[in-house]
Structures are given as C-alpha cells and as structure tokens.
Structure 1
C-alpha cells in the first residue's frame, strides 16, 4: 500500500507557523483526500466533515460554500511551502557531483518517485486547480520549474562535455527527461494508481531515456 502525506503532515514537517486552526487543517486535509479520490462534484461536505471529525456546520464557519473550500486549498498549499519541500532533497541530488549520467538519472527517478507517491493526493488537486489559479501557476514556475531547469541545464552541459549524452540543445534534453519521468509518475500515482506496476518498470524507463538521449542514441545526428 502506498504511503501518502496529508496537508497536516506537511505543515508539521515544515515547522511553519500556520495561521490556520487545527480544525481548518483537518478540514482541508480531508477535502484534499476526498477531492482526489472522488472528485470535487461527487464529494459531499458531510463526508468531509466526517473524515475531518468535525460537525458539518464547522466547515461553513470557515468556508461559506464548498467552492470556497476548494479554492482555499491552493492558497493553503502555497502557504505551507510545498514547492520548497519539492525541491529540498531534489536540490541535493542536483548539487552533487555525478560522474555517470545513468547513475544521476536513476537517483532523480527514485527521488521523484518517492515524493510523488507520498504527496499524490495533494499533487492531484494542484494539477486540477493550476489552470484556474494564475498565482499558483506563477509560484510553481518561479519556485520549482525555473530553478530546477536552470540547475538541470548546467548538469546536462557537463555530461555533454563528457560525451555521455547526445549533442542536442540542453533545454530540449531537460524537457524530454521531465516529460518521460513525470509522465510515468503521473499515470501510476495520480491519474491511474490502480494500474499494475512491474518492479522493473523504472529500470525500463531509465533505459528508455538513455536510448533516446544517450551517446548511442540514433538522435545524435539529428539536425539542430
């Protein structure tokens, strides 16, 4: 069974001073889990109240409508620095010295698998809401995407100098790696968690990426 972290777990782990009450945190944690499992429309506030162990009226003391509760989730996630947590151990890998591209790739995949599997319900709600919240999208771009891409490009350049990966534009290589890894993790842990996962699948994913951008790739002579 996959172990996941709730909003409450993340708040406790981040040691942040939250302006939310314990009941609010429990309500939002319950809403995230149920919206992720059943979808927003199919989830009743009575179910959220039961899971949060509060009276249904307590929800409406904090949030006038179910929609207001939904919109409170991205705001809460922004406050708890989920995106900084996303990068915390990831940056350790990026900042390490790596002699071998395959080993680097394996560390990245295993690290992101752990993060996505632990925070799948929260990530699912974020993905659902990002199109409707420009401020959330901006925060993701500025605190996650841009910094990690910048660090990733410098690493890719080093492996290109070592002739371990093809001489393609580094931004293209980063995009291909991200698409492959997060496409796989999205399907298995967010979109279709019931899908059977072979223990060798991640190894196949590594080889799939290496065959595409490794030095033996047929893409190495592709016009730039």
Structure 2
C-alpha cells in the first residue's frame, strides 16, 4: 500500500482483495463510504449511493434492506481489516524507528498522525461516532487494535522509559494520552476554522512536557 493512500483508497484495496465480495457490491460499499463522509449518513439516500456506484437502486436494496444495514456492512471491514492494516503499516514505518529521545518519538508520531487525521477527518468522524455508540464495533475494534499497539508502540515506550526519557506510567495510559490528544483535533476542527496540521507544534510541546520523567 502506498504511503499516501487514504482510508477510502485502503478500503477499496481491501474490498478488491476479498474474493467473497462481488464487484457491484464493492462499488456500493465504496460509494456509500464516500457519500457518508462527504454529506453525512442522514443526508445520504440510497438513490444517491446507487448513482455513485453506477448500479440500479434495486441492486442496493436486494443486498441491504436499510441504510443502517449498509452502514454496518461498510464499518465491519474497517474494524477488522482496514484499520488493523493501516495501524500495522504505521507501526512498521513510523513507530518502529529507533528513537533516542522523547521529543523525536512524539514529533514523528504526532506529525504523521495529525496529517492522517487531516486527510481522513470525515471518515474518522463516522467511525468514531459509531464505535462510541455500538458495543459490537467497539469490542471488535479493541480486540484488533490492542495487540497492534502492544506489539508496535509499547516496546518503544519501554525503551524510552529505560533510558529515562519517558515518565514511568503504564504504557496503556501513555498511549491513551497520545492518541486522545491528537483525536481531539477532530472535534476542534469542527468548531475552529484551522488546519489540523497547524496544531502540531502545540500538541508536540504539550505531550513532551506531560510525558517527561517525574
């Protein structure tokens, strides 16, 4: 997968690699994701989805009886395939570098993830909203994301703690503060007309001070 591939492109790639999903169904799912992200779930109709996918509206209804069923079909592979794939690639390409200082790690991860959030904000808002209200998606996400964090981020945190570069807190707590701080930019971007990437220096400084050894 290319480094600059966004979530929607990754979604299409995963669908294409899945031999169980017919081409027309792939088109419907990809069109649904794009329209949900562009104009919101409530404002998107099955007629618009069918037109975007290049299929008859009846084709959509034959497979998905309601929009909620369609949304569930879009989100399921996100949680089980797309996000784990993206997290793994992020871990190998960014997190796994041999950082020597807290600043190097925080700057590299923050700049990379804020750029990712900037590029994929609309899709991430849909995903976060649904994960927050749907226990099944939340459970699936945790089951897939937790091992990836433990295998990729936690060893880096342990190494920096051993070097006296990082506060000696549980890795899960440090990860929470890092990830949570960056995700709040999604909310801020809805309220303040500011490029998410512009927040990078402030967030880096905030995290670097907050995670300094006691």
TM-score by length of 2: 0.80
Q: How far does residue 133 in structure 1 lie from its aligned partner after superposition?
A: 4.1
Select the structure of larger CA radius of gyration. 1
Q: How many residues are aligned here?
A: 210
Residues 6 and 29 in structure 1, CA contact (< 8 A), matched pair in contact too: no
Residues 90 and 108 in structure 1, CA contact (< 8 A), matched pair in contact too: no
Q: Which runs of 5+ in 2 are unaligned?
A: none
- The corresponding residue for 1:213 is 211
Q: Which runs of 4+ in 1 moved over 4 A?
A: 6-9
- The corresponding residue for 1:204 is 202
RMSD of aligned Cα (Å): 3.0
1:25-174 correspondence to structure 2 within 5 Å = 25-78=26-79, 81-92=81-92, 93-149=94-150, 151-174=152-175
The superposition leaves residues 161-194 of structure 1 with CA deviations (integer Å, 9 ceiling, x where unpaired) of 322233444433232222212222x236xx6297
Q: Which runs of 5+ in 1 are unaligned?
A: none
Residues 8 and 29 in structure 1, CA contact (< 8 A), matched pair in contact too: no
- The corresponding residue for 1:22 is 23
Residues 79 and 144 in structure 2, CA contact (< 8 A), matched pair in contact too: no
SS at match of 1:163: coil
State the alpha-carbon separation in 1 of the partners of residues 15 and 112 from structure 2: 19
